[in-house]
Every structure is written in structure tokens, then in C-alpha cells.
Amino acid sequence: MTQRMLGSLWPVSPLTLGGGGLGQLWGPTDREEAVATVHAAVAGGINLIDLAPGYGRGEAEAVVGAAFEGRLPAGVRVTTKCQLGTVPASEVAATIRRRLERSLSAMRLSRVDLLFLHSNIVPEGYRFPRDAATQAGFATPFTLYRDAVIPAFESLQSEGLIGAWGITGIGLPGTIIDALNLPARPAVVQCIANCLDSAGAIRRFDEPARPRDIIATARATGVGVLGIRAVQAGALTDEIDRPLPDDHAEVLDYRRAAPLRALAQRLSVGTAWLAHRYALGMAGIDSVVLGVKNREELADCLNAAAAGPLEPAVTQEIDALFAS
């Protein structure tokens, strides 16, 4: 598998194995199959595994711990995340360290290559319009990020507990762009990468998501980009693989994506295969994070990567489908 540079860090495979599927966020699997999927991903050339403690309440991290027993294969790197929310500035460093140490224990590792802030970075005083109950857990004010989170990450990096740090770019777009323009900027940002430009249920604000503007800013500032939600949590597949209410964001996107499924049918390919190839060809994406939960889904993604980005005419047709 041909590798690309992840920003200024190191070469990365065009596909990254995500922990959401391993942690059973995207439908059921079991520990044995998840471990086998991890091994198959590495055998297929994937050299980055993207985890978080929230993926199955630690299950994804435990899968990697079971798969490698504390000894990562040569060249394989691992990320994890910290959901900080809003805490007093004096508690930021200790909170991040405590959560990182818990993740390291689950993965049976002494360090990670990347630690992401998993909270939504928002302007000072911003309130989620519909999700007030989750404000404290999911919103990290920009000043807290700048003045407390960044120094905490830099301290962990100087100690060798993390190789680098990043942010998940799903907060208010303007604030994420401001974060990417700071003198102390992340090494990597995770950005939405799908033909709908949709974050689905993880978008907690009313403003347009603007993922392509975030990606463009990252490229201009030398920040690496991991593309997430290539199949938008199942909305860009032939069929959503878990029960969801009719008004769920992913179900609404699934309905909106009907023209993509029709195109896939016309081309005699799977919708997920088409969506992954689209994401792989998006400008500025260094690696696409997969949400697979088993070896069958992984094999489809490896085949998509082997086929490479879509032909320009097909990409243009997909863009035209969702231009409005």
C-alpha cells in the first residue's frame, strides 16, 4: 500500500483502522473477530490505528491490547483521544494525564503516537443550541484549549508519553480554523470527509460544517489530515446495519444519499466502496479512517484503496448530485 506523509510527522497508509467498529459502535461484532480484523488490517498494509476510550467504553483499546499484547508490529502506530469538555483550567493537565494513563493501560502500551482532543472546541460562552445537557462534557472553550490544553499536551510530548497531539475538527468551523492558525498548532486534525460534507449526529451546532475549509486551512498551515466519516456512520452504504429512529441524523442522511446508491447500482459496485474511493480522492486528505467491524468490511475497503481514487468524471458526477 503506497504511503503518504501525515503532515510533517511520518508516512501513513491511505487507510487508517478506526476504533469505532472495533468498539461495536457501528453494529455488533465480538472480541475474537475484532482482534482478527486488527491483524488483517496490519497484514493488508495499514500502519495506523485510531482509537478512543469512548469506542465501546474502552473495548476498542482493549482489542488492540489483546491483539498485540503490548508489542506493536514494526511501523504500526496508535492514536487515542481525550474527551475533556469544560473543566477548570487548573484541572486540565491532571485530567488529560489520568485519562491517557487509563487508555495506555487498556492498550498495554507505554506511549501513543498521537493524542487527540476529542471535545468540540467552541468560542467562549458558546452554548449548543439543542444539546445543553452535553455542554460540560463535549464543549472545550477556545481560551481553555489555547491556555491550558496545549501546554498539557506539550508537557506530555516532552515526557515521551505521546509522540504528537491533534484535535478532532468537528467543533464550530471558525473556531477550528482559528485553532489551526495559532502559533502552537496540532500536528494532525481529524476532518469530515464524505460527499455529503456531513458529520451527522456528531454535529451539535446549526452553522454549516465547512469541512473542506477546515481541510484547506490544515494544508496551508502544515497540519496533517485524517478523514473521518467516509461512509457517514452507515448513511453512505447499501443499508444501515443497526436500528435507528426515523428522525436520526444518519437515517436522514441515508435518505439524502439515495442518488449515490443509485449510481453505485448503475456502476455495479457497493455504495460503501464508492464512498471510500471518493474520500480517498478528496484533496488534502492524508489517510481515511475506517469504521469497519469485521474482516469482510475491511476487505472491501482494502479493495477500494487498491483501486485508488475515483475517475474524475465519477467524482464530478457525485459532486453534482449533492451540489445544493
Query: Domain-by-domain residue ranges, the chain?
Result: 4-321
Give residue 123's region: left, alpha or beta (phi > 0; psi -120 to 50).
beta
Q: Are 84 and 92 in contact (CB under 8 A)?
A: yes
What is the per-residue pLDDT for 85? 85
Q: Rounded CA gap, 306 and 137, in Å?
A: 39
Burial of 129: CB neighbours in 10 Å, binned 0-12, 13-18, 19+: exposed
- 241: which 3 cell numbers? 446495519
Q: Helices marked H in the chain — which ranges?
A: 19-22, 31-43, 59-68, 92-107, 135-138, 142-144, 150-159, 173-180, 211-220, 249-256, 258-267, 271-280, 295-307, 312-321
Label residue 291 exposed, middle or buried (CB < 10 Å: 0-12, 13-18, 19+).
buried
Cell numbers 475484532 correspond to what residue?
A: 34
pLDDT of 219:
97
Q: Which of 3.40.30.10, 3.20.20.100, 1.25.40.10, 3.40.1110.10 is the CATH number of 4-321?
A: 3.20.20.100
Q: Compute how many other C-beta atoms are within 10 angstroms of the C-beta atom of residue 89.
A: 14
Closest CA to 140 of 216, 104, 87: 87
- pTM, rounded to two decimals: 0.95
Closest CA to 41 of 25, 11, 19, 69: 19
pLDDT at residue 130 in the model: 67
Q: Which three cell numbers stand for residue 140?
A: 472545550
φ, ψ of residue 115 to 5 degrees: the values are -120, 125
Burial class of residue 71, CB neighbours in 10 A (0-12, 13-18, 19+): exposed
Residue 202 C-alpha cell reads as: 456528531
Please write the tens of the pLDDT for every residue from 157-204.
999 999 999 999 988 899 999 999 999 999 999 999 999 999 998 888
Q: Helix, strand or coil for residue 61?
A: helix
pLDDT computed for residue 193 by the predictor? 97
- Residues in the chain predicted with pLDDT less than 70, given as ranges, are 130-136, 324
| 226 burial via Cβ count (<10 Å: 0-12, 13-18, 19+) | buried
Task: Read off φ and ψ for residue 216, nearest 5 degrees.
Answer: -65, -40
Measured distance CA(77)–CA(39) in Å, rounded: 13
Name which of 196, 193, 186 is nearest 218 in CA terms: 186
Rounded distance, CA 213 to CA 312, Å?
21
141: which strand partners?
122
